[in-house]
Amino acid sequence: MVGHVDMRSASIFVQTLKPSQVTIRYTDSTSGKTYSTPVHRSTDDQGNCLTFHLDSVEPGRTYRYSVVVDGSEVRLAFPTVFRSRPIWKYRGKTIPNVTIALGSCHYVNELGYERLDSSGAEKGYGTPTEIFSSILARRPDAMLWLGDNVYMREPDWGSRGGMLKRYSHTRAHDGSRAMFASVPNYATWDDHDYGPNDSDRSWWMKNTALEVFKLFWPNPSYGLKGQEGICTSMEIGDVQVFMLDDRWFRNANDRIDQQRRILGDAQLQWLIDGLAASRATFKVVAVGSQVLSDNKKREGFERSSFERDEMIQAITKNKITGVVFASGDVHFAELSKLDREGTYPLYELTSSPLSAGLNTSQTYRMNTFNVPGTEYVGHNFGLISVEGARGARTLTLRIVDASGKDVWQQTVSEKDLR
């Protein structure tokens, strides 16, 4: 799997079936030169997971890579390729177009671990789809995983070995492998890849969940200085993405003696600092839980309206431009919009699920901030596309169905978000 890619480096995740000696060979399509990473050994205690950092990378070039295990190149049925980020600042008026895919709620069935229906038969929650081929066909510059990227079951979340097995089973899903091999992937988590349903900061296996997350997701960074967690940020052209952690700091759900927070004060201040400092045209704030919803049946920021108001007031007070939210979790898709007096509206693109079950409850889907005509109950992924000349960039938000057809789109200009 391709992980974080920048202008002069790239990360490649590899998992072997047994302890092995592994290296990555990669060829610069421009110069024709081939490079090799140092050899590393995968080990059972690390789930046989390795992340390689490719350092002989130059900006704006295409690289083909191969995985060499115990001296033999692994033959795969799909291309293994990535493109490094191009240099564009201070180099004329041209800005590269940007396409970012996003999604949440990926469930891969496994007999023996599924719930039983009323007849006593196992009924998997996952639905096989061609959705990952449809994502790959759009040739995105990145894929943002917005939580519930694996669904840990009851036998999984109580042990490190169980977590490793669940991640390994999901990652080996044939339908996703070609997309993983060619698209840079970034992830945050939500409750089902953190612990049990609705998990919060009290989850006693959170440190183990963090360790396993780091093994399988080669993000650019994890958490804040001096604190654990998984928030991170990266630039893709003139878009800066802030991926938030909605579990590590979340107050215990049933405590009533304190104000409820989801991000926690330190992470919220990190976000506002980063947004204020960013010079990106558009700032995408990606988080597992919905931000712009007022439906108390959900598990998003409607449960922490104090913290949501604090975040939005800080964005408004500091006159931060170009902010758009992206989220998952709810098992349907929608666009939400919050109008703000005296400044631009805030939009939120919610995409869910990739392959998990659908939410058909009408009462659950009620949301005052919903943009009419954007609710979609079907397997889907989101697309954020940015194009245009410097100073006149446009951002298009899309929901795309599993077959690759656009369900709807909404376009706003750079000046619309000032």
User: Domains, the chain, ranges and CATH?
Assistant: 2-83 (2.60.40.380), 98-417 (3.60.21.70)
376 Cβ partners below 8 Å, 6+ apart?
A: 332, 333, 334, 399, 401, 407, 408
pLDDT under 50 in the chain at which residues?
none
Q: What is the pTM of this model?
A: 0.98
- The 3-state secondary structure of the chain reads CEEEECCCCEEEEEECCCCCEEEEEEEECCCCCEEECCCEECCHHHCCEEEEEECCCCCCCEEEEEEEECCEECCCCCCCEEECCCCCCCCCCCCCCEEEEEECCCCCCCCCCCCECCCCCECCCCCCCCHHHHHHHCCCCEEEEECCCCCCCCCCCCCHHHHHHHHHHHHCCHHHHHHHHHCCEEEECCHHHCCCCCCCCCCCCHHHHHHHHHHHCCCCCCCCCCCCCCCEEEEECCEEEEECCCCCCCCCCCCCCCCCCCCCHHHHHHHHHHHHHCCCCEEEEEECCCCCCCCCCCCCHHHHHHHHHHHHHHHHHCCCCCEEEEECCCCCEEEEEECCCCCCCEEEEECCCCCCCCCCCHHHHCCCCECCCCCECCCEEEEEEEECCCCCCEEEEEEEECCCCEEEEEEEEHHHHC
| Token digits of residue 368 | 């005052």
Residue pLDDT, tens place only, 344-370: 999 999 999 999 999 999 999 999 999
Write down the pLDDT at residue 93: 82
pLDDT attached to residue 190: 98
- Give the Cα separation of 189 and 193 in Å (integer): 6
